[in-house]
Amino acid sequence: MIAVARSGRIGIDVEALRTVVDAERIATRFFSPQESAARAALDPAEQGTGFLNCWTRKEAVVKALGGGLSIPLHTFAVTLQPRQPAAILTWAIPDAPAAAWQLHQLEPAAGYVGALVVERAATLRAWRQWPGPRA
């Protein structure tokens, strides 16, 4: 996937749906308490998708901010439940107001989840996805 903006910051992340062996440990360490509780409340069959929804949304945000994983992932919370719109729930990142950002869920292809975050001041020109490999 690729996203291009004429101005402003954007971030994107895509992950293949898969079992993340250390999901519980990673969520406890990096997710906010609100996100960890929301993930734990999911039906066990949806916890993997919930984890990857959260991860891609957080990755898109830190990519847009330009700080990568130097920005503590627990300093903001996002929705993660399958079939729930992507949204920023809480924000405690200095010098980057939450109101400046729009978070979008992407469904790039069967078996993948993704997120796009756009600075509200950005002029998003387009986002495109190319067909995956053909069988």
Mean pLDDT of successive 10-residue stretches along the chain, which has 135 residues: 80 95 94 96 96 97 89 94 94 82 90 92 59 48
Give the tens place of pLDDT for each residue, 86-101. Answer: 999 999 988 777 778 8
Residue 120 lies in a domain: yes
Distances (CA, A) of 31 to 28, 65, 128: 6, 18, 29
Residue 134 lies in a domain: no
What CATH code is carried by the domain that includes residue 18? Answer: 3.90.470.20
101/56 Cα distance (integer angstroms): 15
Residue 133 lies in a domain: no
Residue 41 lies in a domain: yes
pLDDT score, position 96: 78
Q: Which residues are registered as beta bridge partners of 117?
A: 11, 103
Residue 109 lies in a domain: yes
One-letter amino acid for residue 93 of the chain:
I
Domain of residue 103 covers: 2-128
pTM of the full structure: 0.88
Domain count, the chain: 1
Residue 135 lies in a domain: no
